[in-house]
Every structure is written in structure tokens, then in C-alpha cells.
């Protein structure tokens, strides 16, 4: 079965405080990067998944996000890319 | 694996680079050492053998420059169950219980990657303690950084603290004490010394001595990856296709795996299925297997193809030298392999048989059927060259001892010749300066990030531990400085009510090949030995970190002392801060005209000059006896020793260190005929501030032990500090002192931090 | 009157010892150790999910532990109305397992914090945990966590408040729920909550570390005593 | 000045242990997702940056990665996308 590299973004829900993002934005300002208006920090997960097709790999990844990878109370996820095969 | 089959002779592997003088030099092996190696083998070494020797004969593993000096330290006492030479020292604390403890440095890794460097330092020292059979119950650390005005120093500090916290917190071992100091000499080369204390029953003690011909050797824990392979900076093309930039030079710690390994190892040790266990620490599989064989005086054979690896295609060289974390080497009893594996699997860890203890006196590494390295007997360990470097301090400038002339001159300078700054007219100003010095100020910004309470129930029982060193003193006078370091550690331990029992130490120095650096090293070790003999606290182990240099020169010579003591009755353990208005304040010890090497000169004048304070080791011993007895009788409410910043800072700390429960104080010593700055800020040794409701009883104990003691004041309910010495009065509300003390580091740390220099 | 407490050990749990100490040495009750891979609660009347770093807090604290085999039994136990309590990491597991609403996110400071806090007892729907406390009583209890900021949507928060399910709130020494007294940025200073039936409690602070004056406070003890009186009777 | 949304991936260096990725891969297997061969976990950062052009915003983000966002010893980064303007 071909192997796919599935790239997933998991980000804190809009409206929820993102302390890491805020800390990074503050640190960037302190370092003189005045052009930064905002920073949000989430997770970037890359899964190597065996599947019949890119669609199958994506479906698998979606199931994994729903079951484990993202917490629906606080996070949104997006399957950003499926590569290889 | 069958050890019986006669192996073929050692031959280079296909693809191994040719052994050239350049390759030998890249491995940090001198021509003299190379000759010794060839003579030992009777042939040219293979590439794999070169790597093995480069690791085992490195300073870090072999102590080739320091061992003769270390041998002068006292190591014996009836309560010492295990002295130096094992993963950790062990002392008996009575009731069948024993304490294992050791300190280790991770200075160089932390300078490159503070988070992982510090985290893996904590991981390594935890393993040293639990491989003795002890359950880790407390972590301590001693940190040195450059000037925190620098954004890179703040980045290092934040990373180191987070690394220590994340690792210790996750493993579930409380981080309970330590010290942090700042000085420009540590710029670029921070010191990160971590200490672990563990508790066990005496009969659970196990060592790392390979024994029993035919016993299997297992690799246990995490898989082996390509991390941290150093063996000097050899050319990368020879090793693999990966390019240099991609080869990870730092190790990444995994505290979760460590926690599992901790539980599994203790279960394994108690199970009776194994005869020895050792951490795969520096130089990984190579050093752990060779050292275990040497301790047991047996032969071993290892097959690298049996080692569980993280990536395909790893060479024997890489597998042997990898410093992947959270791994152990175990010698099991023959036939008990499956039982060992069952325990590890229950904790989701791997255990594979990778070799065997053999009768033939040889250290042999196989790659399947091929022998890739073979050394006769235990000579790989025992034949390591030893050096006796020159040690010299000279008042005259000498090209090879550049620093010592400068140090001699600094030591000769008279602190009283330093003109006071105008602001010093108000001693309260000076006091606030000292309280806000990062070295003195509250370290709560740091300690709040450590879980100091997990397992608290077990810590309270057996011991108290403290780490302390006195940096400027060792620079100015290494022998006196090191004596003070031990005496101060004993005083700190005794201030909690515990009797000091033994020490572990970490010697952080510069390049030993420089005569003035080696002079500092030798004198400091001798000073430490003097103090340990006088205080009856033998050395049960430690670590040496040399080559701590930055482009400006060596760091301040820094011997870190970790001391363990025993509290007989935890109900009497004392605090350092005043608790009860109306209590009498007693000063133990004598205040002398000693301003040299003080935090005052450093903070207010930017100077490291003068002779450090004198230390009377016999007097320190009597002071410790006084503290142990007085606190043990339950009449002492608080005890705090006078160290950086002298009497004024010690008193202020007693008042404001616990921000939720501050107390005022009034102290007067009118007949103290000393220069004002020495009286307030001098750092005379052997002094402790106590508070008590029963001053007469404390004074009687001190008198019995011949320790100078007098009632000097009273704890007050109103928030002011009054300190009147020899006619000069310092008076200040507590609020500004508390602000100076508590806000200094948080304010610093809100400023930008970056790895970029 | 006696109780059996089942203390779950996940890979990476480390306050299981603190919980045993509280139950066995201080309360003098029976504790059984429940291994995460087991399927049997061994007759435990009360299940404790202890603090620690189950699965190294990978992904989110509690995210992986929630799928441990023993959790199926714990969920069934809770659904039968029997008491389940989670401290720190245990609270995180309970939220991930949907036995409690909301989630616990990284502290607002984004740093781990170990300290003593004041709590106010605000819960009214869970006497089995809170009976031995006076309503509104102030407690001093330690915290030690990096992901303890309780969040939930406004409707859920209102519902928790309305049903008396905010068991504990972070307050200052005077009992006021101020921002300064909030160590992690939790919504409405919430430190602990209960389920609608009042038999599941999750809280970030560590009452099991505050059971003896020698450890600095005994304010955690009434929680265990409530269970003893209500469940053990 | 127009505002750009710069999306950055920061991932653990190849060859370095990724304890989080390993724990997640193991958990996915335990949950029955047998097709997962590997998981790596990094950070997904979204910065809002003011700049003259998309190129300028990208250059700014690169400087921020070098100076603060990525640890060159343990992490690799990639500017995944620059949007808006
Ligand atoms: N400064 C010292 N004082 C006493 N013993 C020491 C000192 N430095 C090292 N040792 C002892 O030498 C042995 C080897 O130490 P080390 O190489 O640090 O072990 P590890 O392999 O755990 O790093 C240990 O038993 C240690 O206690
Ligand atoms: Mg070691």
C-alpha cells in the first residue's frame, strides 16, 4: 500500500486566550519586530499513513483528529496537505 | 549469541575511513596516547576502536588529569556504604535506610541548547541514583550564569529553568533546593550542576559490576538513535550520507520514558533477576559496558546488531557512541531474560539481550559475525593514560599562567581603599542594592516553575540537603574558598536542624593544561578535603567538569558542594524566616573586618578584590554541633546563615523572604568596633542568625560548645528593620526591601531573551 | 465505616503516592492500586485519578490516558453514581473523558506553577465530597501544574454556576475571586467542578498534598472525610 | 501598509528524538489506527505581519524564525504560506 504524508494543523479556537501566542508576540516586539500584529500558536502534526489513495489517507487522518488529536472544546483542526503515495 | 564460537580476528569494516594522523587528532587522541593504544592492541586500531578509545580516554570519562588529585579526598566513614567509583555514593542513615546521592554537571550541552541540556542533565543524575536501587526523592541544582542584563543570558536562564522543571516535574521528583549566581565570567559558559538524592533500604543496594560468566547483558529502555555522538569532530562523509548540519549534536530528553524506566528499574532490582545495572550516560553503550566489565574484572562480548535502534543503517561506531537518553545496561542472571523482559514490557519499554559476560579476558564488539572491536582484558579502562599537569600560581607574569599574576594582585588589594559611592551614606540604599542583586534576590521566579511538593510525604523523613558554593572566594584563594564552600554547605544543612553526613561535589574549572587553572583545581580539592576531614563529612562521589572557558578565559573556578544530612525529628525542622514578634534574635559566631571577595564589592563597585574571609574549620564544626543540638531540642524558631551580603542581608532576608508572613526586626550591636562596611556587609564565616522564644537555652547550648553567641535583638510586629552596628544605624521600612528582593528577577525576566548573541 | 479507594496509575502518574499516603497513612483507610491496563476496579468504592504526567502530557494533558482500558471501568463506575475524583492530571483526564465538561488549557502565564493558593468552597451539589466543609469556607491548598486553565463556553459556565457545580474557586486571602488570586487564568476563577449528579469531582489543586499540618496544611482532609461519612457509612 | 498572514511550520530536527510524536503514534496504534507508520509533532505558528509586500513579510518572518521562533540546534522551520496583503 502506498504511504502518504498527511500534514495537520491544530489551532486554539478563536476567542480563547492563546498564552503562548501572546508570549511570542510580546517577545518579538521586545526584540524589535514592530511589524507583528498578532501571533497564534498551534500544533503541526505530520503523520505517515498507509492507504489506498490520498482520499483514504485523508479520511483516516480526519478520524484520528476527531478521536484523539484535537479537543473539540478548545481546538479547530485542518488537514493541510496530503503528499506522496 | 554463543560466546563459544571462536571469533574471527578484528578487521576494518567495509566503508570505514582509513586511520590517519589527522583522523586520530580529530578524535582528540594525542600521538602519545595513540602509541599507547597501538602497543596495547599490537596492531592498528579499527575506526570503531578509535571511536571507543576517544570516548573512554576523554577527560569526561577517564579523569585523566584530575584523578590523582581527587584521590586525596577523604572517602571513608562508618556510615559510608558506597564511596566514589559507582554511579552514586550511598550512606546509611539508620533504621536500615540508606541515601544515595550524586551531583553532575551538564555545562557544555546547556551552553548550546539550554532546555535540552539542562533536562538531560537532570535525567542523567536521576538514573545514577536509581541504578543504585534508590528511589529519587529530591532534586537540587546549582546554576551559574553571566550578567542577566544580556538577552542571551536571559535566554539561557529561562531555557535551563524550564528544562530542569519540565523534566523533574514530569518524572515526579520534587526539586527542593539549589542556588543561582550571576557573574560575567560565566558569560557564554553557564554552569548547570544537578544533584539527586534517593532513598532505599540498605539491602536493596546494587552496583554496576558485571559478574557471572554466561550471564546475559541487556539493553533496556529507549531505543538508540544518532544523538550526541561526539568522539571529537570527525569528518562526516566517512560516517554516513547525512550531512554534518543534520547530525544532531544534542540529546533530547524524554521524561515520560524516564519515569517508566525509573519504575521498571526499581522493580527489576527488587525482583532478584539481575546482578548489575548501569546508566548508559556519557559515551553510552561503550563506556557503560567497558566500565561494568572492568569493575567485575570479567570479559564481555556485545553484538551491536541486537541493540534496538531508532533509525536504520546505524554503524557500530554510532551505536556504541550514541548518547541517546533513558537507556540502561543490565546484567541479568542466566535464564532470567524473559522475566526481565516481562517487567520492562509491563512498563512499555524494550529489553533486548545484546551480549554476555565471558570468561575470556577480552572486551569484544561484534556486528553479527564480524568482530569490529576487541581490547585485551580490561586494559581499555585501566590503561588510560594519567597526567600530572603542572600547577603554579605566580605573582610574576608568565605566558603559560596568564591569570595568576592578576589574581595575586587582586587578592592583595585593600577593600577599604575603595571609596564609597555617595549613595552609600545611607546604608539602607546599599542594602537594597544587595537585595536586588540577582545573586542575592529571591529565586521564586525560578522555583515556582519546579514542583517542590510531589512525594512531599516521603521527603520529610530522612534528610535535608543543600548545595552551596562561594564563587568569588575560590577565584581569589582556591584553598580557602573551597573550605568555605564545604563549611557553608554544612552550616546550611545544620540550619534546617539536620546533622551533615557526607558530600558529593562537582568541580567546574577551566583548561587543566594551564598551570594556573590546575593550581586552582588542586588547591580547591585540597581545601575541600581539609574541610571534609574537619567536619567529618566524607566525599562519596562527584563529578569533574574541565575546559569551562569562553573567549575571555576560564570561568571562575567553581566547586559545587552537595551535602546530605539527617534530621532526627522532622517536627523540629526550622525555617529561615522570622515567625513570631517578640522572639529574641541571637547571633552565633564572630563578625570580623573581612570585606574581601564580598558581594558588596562586586555589586556596588564591580570589584572582585581582597582576601576572602578566614574560615576556622574547628569553629565551624562546633557551630554545626550547636545548631543540631539547639534545633533538636525544639527551641529554635528560625535559623539562617550569613553569607552573601553579610549580616545586613541575612537579617533582611529573615524579615522579608516569606512575603506572605513578613516580620520586622531590631538588632543592635553597639560595641562592634569595625569599619562600617565590614560590619554591615562583610562576609565573616561561621555566623548564623537564630530566632527563639527561649534565648537562655540557646545561649547555654552555644556556651557548652564554645561558640560565641549573644542576644542581639528582637523580632518586631511592625514592618521595619533596624540594624545598628557600632554606632551606625540602618533603618528601613520592610516594603522597599521586600520589593528589591522579590521583584528583581521577575523584572529582569520580562525583558527580551534570544539565542542570538 | 470503612472505604476502599482505588488509585489509578497511568504510565507517568506520579501523585499516586501522594494519594496513597493520604488514604492509608492519614485516613487509615484501604487503598488498592489500579493499573491503567487492567479491567477491574478491585472493589474500590471511590476511584481517584491522581496527578502526574500521564503519557508525558503528549498532545494535551490527559488526552491519551482517557483511552486506557481502566477508564472504561471508571466511566461505568461514575455512570452508576459512584464517586470518582480527579486531582490535577486526574481532572484533565476526566474532562477529556467527558465525565466533566470543559477543558484545561495551558496556564495564562504559559509557565508551570507550583505554589500555595486559597480556595473557596462554592459547590452545593456534591455533599459526598464537600459535606465536611462549611459553605464558603476558605482553604489553603497547593497547586502544581502547567495546564490548569479551565475553559468552557459561557452557557456551560452559567449552567455550572446555576447548578452549584463550581466546587472550588481561586480566591485571595480575604475570600474574593480576583484576577490576582487566579494562578492560571481559569474562567471565573474555577479550580474544581462536579458533574450534574454530584458524584464526579475534578480539581486542579492537590488536596491529597494538604492532609497534615507538617506538610503546611490539613485543609484537604475534609474532602476525604466527607467521602468517609457519606459513602462509607 | 498591508497586512499578511504568514504560516510557519517548526518541526523537530530529523534524527532527533521526538518524544511527543512517539507517544502519539503509540496511542494511535492502541486506538486501532494500524495504518500510521510515524507521527512527528511540531508547532504551527501564524503571524500577522505588516509589510510592503508578501516578500517583505516573508523576509521578516524568516528573521523572526532565526532569532526567536525556531531553535536552530533542535528544530527546522519552513515558511509554509504567505496570504493576504
Ligand atoms: N570531584 C569528585 N569527587 C569525588 N568523586 C568523584 C569526583 N568526580 C568523579 N568522581 C567519581 O568518579 C566516578 C565516575 O564519575 P562519572 O564519570 O561522573 O560517572 P558517570 O559515568 O555517571 O558520569 C564516580 O564514582 C564519581 O563519584
Ligand atoms: Mg552517569
Residue D1, C-alpha cell as written in the block: 501598509
What 3-state class would DSSP assign to B41?
A: helix
Give the distance from residue B349's alpha carbon to the nearest chain D alpha carbon, in angstroms. Answer: 12
Span B453-466, mean pLDDT?
A: 50
Look up C36 and say whether it is catalytic. Answer: no
Predicted pLDDT at B565: 87
Strand partners, D43: A43, D10
What span, in angstroms and rounded, lies between the C-alpha atoms of B602 and B649? Answer: 14
CB contact under 8 A, A31 and B751: no
Does B281 contact ligand 1 (Cβ within 6 A)?
yes
Name the DSSP letter for residue B203: G
Predicted pLDDT at B240: 38
Predicted pLDDT at B539: 96
pLDDT, tens only, B580-621: 999 999 999 999 999 999 999 999 999 999 999 999 999 999
What 3-state class would DSSP assign to B286?
A: helix
pLDDT, tens only, B675-717: 999 999 999 999 999 999 999 999 999 999 999 999 999 999 9
For chain C, domains (ranges, CATH) are 4-232 (3.40.50.880)
**What band does B7 get if pLDDT is binned at 50, 70 and 90?**
low
Predicted pLDDT at B399: 66
Predicted pLDDT at B476: 81
What 3-state class would DSSP assign to B392?
A: coil
Q: Is the pLDDT of residue B262 over 80?
A: yes
Integer CA distances (angstroms), C145 to B262, B750, C140, in order: 22, 21, 16
Q: What is the distance in A from the centroid of ligand 1 to the CA of B139?
A: 18
Residues 33-62 on C with a CB inside 8 Å of D are 55-56, 58-59
Closest-lying ligand 1 atom to the alpha carbon of residue B86: 25
Q: Which of B532, B543, B564 to mutate to test the pocket of ligand 1 (most atoms within 8 A of CB)?
A: B543
Residue A70 contacts residue A76 (beta carbons within 8 Å): yes
Q: Is the pLDDT of residue B20 over 50?
A: yes
Q: Each residue's pLDDT tens digit in chain C (233 positions)?
A: 689 999 999 999 998 888 998 999 899 999 999 999 999 999 999 999 999 999 999 999 999 999 999 999 999 999 999 999 999 999 999 999 999 999 999 999 989 999 999 999 999 999 999 999 999 999 999 999 999 999 999 999 999 999 999 999 999 999 999 999 999 999 999 999 999 999 999 999 999 999 988 778 899 999 999 999 988 76
Residue B741 contacts residue B442 (beta carbons within 8 Å): yes
Predicted pLDDT at B462: 39
Span B89-100, mean pLDDT?
A: 91
Long-range CB pairs of B403-407 (<8 Å, 24+ gap) are: B403/B514, B403/B516, B403/B517, B403/B553, B403/B554, B404/B515, B404/B516, B404/B519, B407/B475, B407/B476, B407/B516
**What band does B211 get if pLDDT is binned at 50, 70 and 90?**
confident
Span B59-64, mean pLDDT?
A: 87
Integer CA distances (angstroms), B520 to B185, B393, B557, in order: 15, 8, 7
Predicted pLDDT at B243: 38
C84-87 and C138-145 beta bridge pairing: unpaired
Predicted pLDDT at B471: 56
- Most confidently modeled of B385-389, B536-540, D15-19? B536-540
Which amino acid residue places its CA nearest to atom 16 of ligand 1? B543
Span B490-494, mean pLDDT?
A: 90
User: Where does residue B488 fall: left (phi above 0), alpha (psi -120 to 50 degrees), or beta otherwise?
Assistant: alpha
**What band does D34 get if pLDDT is binned at 50, 70 and 90?**
very high
Q: What is the distance in A from the centroid of ligand 2 to the CA of B576?
A: 34
Predicted pLDDT at B333: 95
Domain with D37, as residue range(s), is 3-84
CB contact under 8 A, A17 and C109: no
Length of chain B: 757
Which amino acid residue places its CA nearest to atom 17 of ligand 1? B61
Q: Is pLDDT larger for residue B246 or for residue B440?
A: B440
Predicted pLDDT at B430: 97
Q: Is the pLDDT of residue B1 over 50?
A: no
Give the distance from residue B735's alpha carbon to the nearest chain A alpha carbon, in angstroms. Answer: 30
pLDDT, tens only, B117-153: 999 999 999 999 999 999 998 898 999 999 999 999 9
Question: The CATH number of the domain where A7 resides is what?
Answer: 3.30.1280.10
Which chains neighbour A (Cβ–Cβ under 8 Å, 3 or more pairs)?
A: B, C, D
Predicted pLDDT at B380: 86
Burial C86-119 (b: 16+ CB within 10 A, else e): bbbbbbbbbbbbebbbbbbbbbbbbbbbbeebbb
What span, in angstroms and rounded, lies between the C-alpha atoms of B562 and B99? Answer: 13
Residues 24-83 on A with a CB inside 8 Å of C are 43, 68-69, 71, 73-74
Residue C142 contacts residue B453 (beta carbons within 8 Å): yes
Residues 115-174 on C with a CB inside 8 Å of A are 149, 151-152
Q: What is the distance in A from the centroid of ligand 2 to the CA of B480?
A: 30
Closest-lying ligand 1 atom to the alpha carbon of residue B525: 1
HEC per residue, B502-530: EEEEEEECCCCCCHHHHHHHHHHHHHHHH
What span, in angstroms and rounded, lies between the C-alpha atoms of A19 and C110? Answer: 6
What span, in angstroms and rounded, lies between the C-alpha atoms of B413 and B571? Answer: 47
Does B523 contact ligand 1 (Cβ within 6 A)?
no
Strand partners, B664: B716
Closest ligand by atom to B528 CA: 1
Q: What is the distance in A from the centroid of ligand 1 to the CA of B392?
A: 25
Predicted pLDDT at B460: 36
Predicted pLDDT at B85: 86
Q: What pTM did the predictor assign?
A: 0.92
**Percentage, residues of chain B above pLDDT 90:** 66
Cβ-based neighbours of B603, under 8 Å, separated by 6 or more = B433, B434, B437, B439, B440
Helices (H), B330-477: 337-346, 379-382, 402-412, 427-435, 444-447, 456-459, 471-476
- Among residues A6, A37, A7, B256, the alpha carbon closest in space to that of D43 is found at A7
Predicted pLDDT at B245: 43
Give the distance from residue B180's alpha carbon to the nearest chain D alpha carbon, in angstroms. Answer: 25
Closest-lying ligand 1 atom to the alpha carbon of residue B291: 21
> Which residues of chain A lie closer than 8 angstroms to D37, CB-CB?
3, 48-50
**What band does B400 get if pLDDT is binned at 50, 70 and 90?**
low
Q: What is the distance in A from the centroid of ligand 2 to the CA of B123?
A: 9
Sign of CA dihedral B731, B736, B740, B741: positive
- Burial class of residue B275 (count of CB atoms within 10 Å of its CB; 0-12, 13-18, 19+): buried
Predicted pLDDT at B241: 38
Average pLDDT of chain B? 89
- Among residues B641, B622, B645, B725, the alpha carbon closest in space to that of B688 is found at B641
Q: Chain-centre distance of CA B553, in angstroms?
A: 22
Residue B686 contacts residue B616 (beta carbons within 8 Å): yes
Span B263-287, mean pLDDT?
A: 92
Q: Is pLDDT larger for residue B666 or for residue B553?
A: B666
CB contact under 8 A, D35 and A42: no
**What band does B8 get if pLDDT is binned at 50, 70 and 90?**
low
**Total tally of structural domains belonging to chain A:** 1
> Which residues of chain D lie closer than 8 angstroms to B236, CB-CB?
none
Q: Which of B166, B348, B449 sits opposite C11 (nearest CB)?
A: B348
Predicted pLDDT at B550: 78
Q: Does B754 touch chain A (CB under 8 A)?
A: yes
Q: For residue C17, report the phi and psi dihedrals to the nearest 5 degrees.
A: -65, -35
Q: Is the pLDDT of residue B113 over 90?
A: no
Predicted pLDDT at B232: 36
Look up C88 and say whether it is catalytic. Answer: yes
Q: For residue A47, report the phi and psi dihedrals to the nearest 5 degrees.
A: -105, 140
Q: What is the DSSP string of B108-123?
A: HHHHH-HHHHHHHHHH
Closest ligand by atom to B56 CA: 1
Q: Which of A12, A19, A69 sits opposite C110 (nearest CB)?
A: A19
Predicted pLDDT at A4: 96
Q: What is the DSSP string of B588-618?
A: ES---S--TT-HHHHHHH----SPPPP--HH
Residue found under cell 562546633:
B622
Q: Please count the other Cβ atoms lying within 10 Å of the Cβ belonging to residue B263.
A: 22
Q: Chain-centre distance of CA B583, in angstroms?
A: 37
Which amino acid residue places its CA nearest to atom 5 of ligand 1? B541
Vertex C135: Cα angle to C132 and C141 (nearest 5):
70
Amino acid at each position: 500500500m502506498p504511504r502518504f504524508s498527511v500534514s495537520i494543523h491544530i489551532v486554539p479556537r478563536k476567542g480563547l486566550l492563546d498564552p503562548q501566542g501572546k508570549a511570542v508576540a510580546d517577545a518579538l516586539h521586545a526584540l524589535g519586530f514592530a511589524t507583528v500584529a498578532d501571533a497564534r500558536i498551534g500544533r503541526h502534526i505530520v503523520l505517515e499513513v498507509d492507504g489506498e489513495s490520498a482520499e483514504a489517507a485523508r479520511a483516516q487522518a480526519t478520524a484520528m483528529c476527531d478521536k484523539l488529536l484535537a479537543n473539540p472544546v478548545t481546538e479547530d483542526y485542518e488537514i493541510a496537505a496530503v503528499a506522496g503515495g | 549469541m554463543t560466546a563459544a564460537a571462536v571469533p574471527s580476528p578484528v578487521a576494518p569494516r567495509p566503508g570505514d575511513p582509513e586511520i590517519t594522523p589527522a583522523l586520530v587528532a580529530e578524535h582528540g587522541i594525542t600521538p602519545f596516547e595513540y602509541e599507547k593504544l597501538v602497543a596495547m592492541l599490537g596492531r592498528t586500531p579499527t575506526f570503531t576502536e578509535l571511536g571507543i578509545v576517544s570516548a573512554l580516554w576523554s577527560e569526561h570519562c577517564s579523569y585523566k588529569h584530575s584523578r590523582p588529585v581527587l584521590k586525596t579526598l577523604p572517602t571513608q566513614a562508618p556510615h559510608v556504604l558506597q564511596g566514589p567509583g559507582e554511579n552514586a555514593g550511598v550512606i546509611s542513615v539508620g533504621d536500615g535506610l540508606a541515601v544515595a546521592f550524586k551531583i553532575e554537571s551538564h555545562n557544555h550541552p546547556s551552553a548550546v541548547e539550554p532546555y535540552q541540556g539542562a533536562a538531560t542533565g537532570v535525567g542523567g543524575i536521576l538514573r545514577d541514583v536509581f541504578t543504585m536501587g534508590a528511589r529519587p526523592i529530591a532534586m537540587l541544582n546549582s546554576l551559574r550564569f553571566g550578567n542577566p542584563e544580556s538577552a542571551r543570558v536571559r535566554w539561557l536562564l529561562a531555557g535551563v529553568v524550564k528544562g530542569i522543571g519540565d523534566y523533574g516535574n514530569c518524572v515526579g521528583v520534587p526539586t527542593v533546593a539549589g542556588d543561582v549566581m550571576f557573574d560575567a565570567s560565566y558569560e557564554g559558559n553557564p554552569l548547570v550542576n544537578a544533584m539527586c538524592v534517593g532513598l532505599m533500604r540498605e539491602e536493596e543496594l546494587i552496583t554496576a559490576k558485571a559478574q557471572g560468566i554466561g550471564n546475559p547483558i541487556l539493553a533496556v529502555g529507549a531505543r538508540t538513535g544518532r544523538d550526541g555522538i561526539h568522539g571529537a569532530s570527525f569528518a562526516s562523509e566517512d560516517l554516513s550520507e547525512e550531512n554534518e548540519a543534520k547530525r544532531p549534536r544534542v540529546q533530547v530528553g524524554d521524561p515520560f520514558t524516564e519515569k517508566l524506566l525509573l519504575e521498571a528499574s526499581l522493580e527489576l532490582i527488587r525482583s532478584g533477576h539481575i546482578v548489575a545495572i548501569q546508566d548508559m550516560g556519557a559515551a553510552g553503550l561503550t563506556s557503560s559496558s567497558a566500565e561494568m566489565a572492568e569493575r567485575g574484572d570479567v570479559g564481555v562480548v556485545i553484538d551491536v546488531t541486537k541493540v534496538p535502534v531508532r533509525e536504520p543503517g546505524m554503524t557500530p561506531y554510532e551505536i556504541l557512541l550514541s548518547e541517546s537518553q533513558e537507556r540502561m545496561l543490565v546484567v541479568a542472571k542466566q535464564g532470567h531474560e524473559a522475566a526481565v523482559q516481562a517487567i520492562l514490557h509491563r512498563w512499555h519499554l524494550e529489553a533486548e539481550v545484546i551480549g554476555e559476560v565471558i570468561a575470556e579476558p577480552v572486551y569484544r564488539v561484534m556486528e553479527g559475525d564480524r568482530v569490529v572491536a576487541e581490547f585485551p582484558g580490561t586494559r581499555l579502562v585501566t590503561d588510560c593514560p594519567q597526567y600530572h599537569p603542572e600547577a603554579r600560581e605566580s605573582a610574576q607574569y608568565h605566558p603559560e599562567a596568564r591569570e595568576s599574576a592578576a589574581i595575586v594582585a587582586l587578592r592583595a588589594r585593600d577593600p577599604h581603599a575603595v571609596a564609597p559611592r555617595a549613595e552609600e551614606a545611607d546604608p539602607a540604599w546599599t542594602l537594597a542594592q544587595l537585595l536586588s542583586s540577582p545573586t542575592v534576590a529571591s529565586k521564586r521566579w525560578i522555583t515556582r516553575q519546579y514542583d517542590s511538593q510531589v512525594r512531599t510525604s516521603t521527603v520529610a523523613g530522612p534528610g535535608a540537603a543543600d548545595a552551596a558554593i562561594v564563587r568569588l572566594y575560590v577565584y581569589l584563594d582556591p584553598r580557602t574558598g573551597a573550605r568555605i564552600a564545604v563549611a557553608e554547605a554544612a552550616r546550611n544543612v545544620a540550619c534546617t536542624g539536620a546533622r551533615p553526613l557526607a558530600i558529593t561535589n562537582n568541580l567546574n574549572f577551566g583548561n587543566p593544561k594551564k598551570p594556573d587553572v590546575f593550581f586552582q583545581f588542586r588547591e580547591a580539592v585540597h581545601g575541600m578535603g581539609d574541610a571534609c576531614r574537619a567536619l567529618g563529612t566524607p566525599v562519596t562521589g562527584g563529578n569533574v567538569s574541565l575546559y569551562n572557558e569562553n573567549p575571555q578565559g576560564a570561568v571562575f573556578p567553581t566547586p559545587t558542594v552537595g551535602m546530605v544530612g539527617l534530621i532526627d525529628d522532622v517536627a523540629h525542622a526550622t525555617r529561615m524566616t522570622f515567625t513570631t514578634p517578640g522572639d529574641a534574635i541571637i547571633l552565633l559566631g564572630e563578625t570580623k573586618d573581612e570585606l574581601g571577595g564580598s558581594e558588596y564589592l562586586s555589586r556596588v563597585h564591580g570589584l572582585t578584590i581582597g582576601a576572602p574571609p578566614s574560615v576556622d574549620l574547628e569553629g565551624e564544626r562546633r557551630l554545626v554541633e550547636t545548631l543540631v543540638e539547639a534545633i533538636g531540642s525544639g527551641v529554635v524558631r528560625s535559623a539562617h546563615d550569613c553569607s552573601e551580603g553579610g549580616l545586613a542581608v541575612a537579617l533582611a532576608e529573615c524579615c522579608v523572604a516569606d512575603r506572605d508572613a513578613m516580620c520586622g526586626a531590631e538588632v543592635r550591636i553597639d560595641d562592634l568596633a569595625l569599619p562600617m562596611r565590614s560590619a554591615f556587609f562583610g562576609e565573616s564565616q561561621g555566623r548564623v542568625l537564630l530566632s527563639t522564644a527561649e534565648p537562655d537555652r540557646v545561649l547555654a547550648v552555644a556556651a557548652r560548645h564554645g561558640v560565641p553567641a549573644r542576644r542581639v535583638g528582637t523580632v518586631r510586629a511592625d514592618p521595619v528593620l533596624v540594624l545598628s552596628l557600632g554606632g551606625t544605624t540602618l533603618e528601613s521600612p520592610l516594603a522597599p526591601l521586600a520589593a528589591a528582593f522579590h521583584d528583581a528577577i521577575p523584572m529582569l525576566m520580562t525583558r527580551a531573551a534570544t539565542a542570538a548573541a | 465505616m470503612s472505604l476502599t479507594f482505588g488509585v489509578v496509575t497511568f504510565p507517568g502518574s506520579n501523585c499516586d503516592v501522594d494519594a496513597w499516603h493520604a488514604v492509608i497513612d492519614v485516613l487509615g483507610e484501604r487503598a488498592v492500586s489500579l493499573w491503567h491496563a487492567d479491567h477491574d476496579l478491585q472493589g474500590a468504592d471511590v476511584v481517584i485519578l491522581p496527578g502526574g504526567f500521564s503519557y508525558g502530557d503528549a498532545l494535551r494533558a490527559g488526552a491519551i490516558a482517557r483511552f486506557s482500558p481502566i477508564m472504561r471501568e471508571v466511566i461505568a463506575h461514575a455512570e452508576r453514581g459512584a464517586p470518582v475524583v480527579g486531582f490535577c492530571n486526574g481532572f484533565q483526564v476526566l474532562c477529556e473523558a467527558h465525565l466533566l465538561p470543559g477543558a484545561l488549557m495551558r496556564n495564562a502565564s504559559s509557565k508551570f506553577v507550583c505554589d500555595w493558593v486559597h480556595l473557596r468552597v462554592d459547590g452545593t451539589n456534591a455533599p459526598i465530597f464537600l459535606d465536611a466543609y462549611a459553605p464558603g469556607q476558605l482553604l489553603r491548598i497547593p497547586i502544581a501544574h502547567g495546564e490548569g486553565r479551565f475553559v468552557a463556553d459561557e452557557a456551560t459556565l452559567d449552567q455550572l454556576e446555576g447548578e452549584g457545580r463550581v466546587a472550588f474557586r481561586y480566591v485571595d486571602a480575604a475570600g474574593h475571586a480576583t484576577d490576582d488570586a487566579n494562578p492560571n487564568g481559569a474562567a471565573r476563577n474555577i479550580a474544581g467542578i462536579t458533574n450534574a449528579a454530584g458524584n464526579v469531582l475534578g480539581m486542579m489543586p492537590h488536596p491529597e498534598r494538604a492532609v497534615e499540618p507538617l506538610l503546611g496544611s490539613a485543609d484537604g482532609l475534609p474532602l476525604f472525610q466527607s467521602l468517609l461519612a457519606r459513602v462509607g457509612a
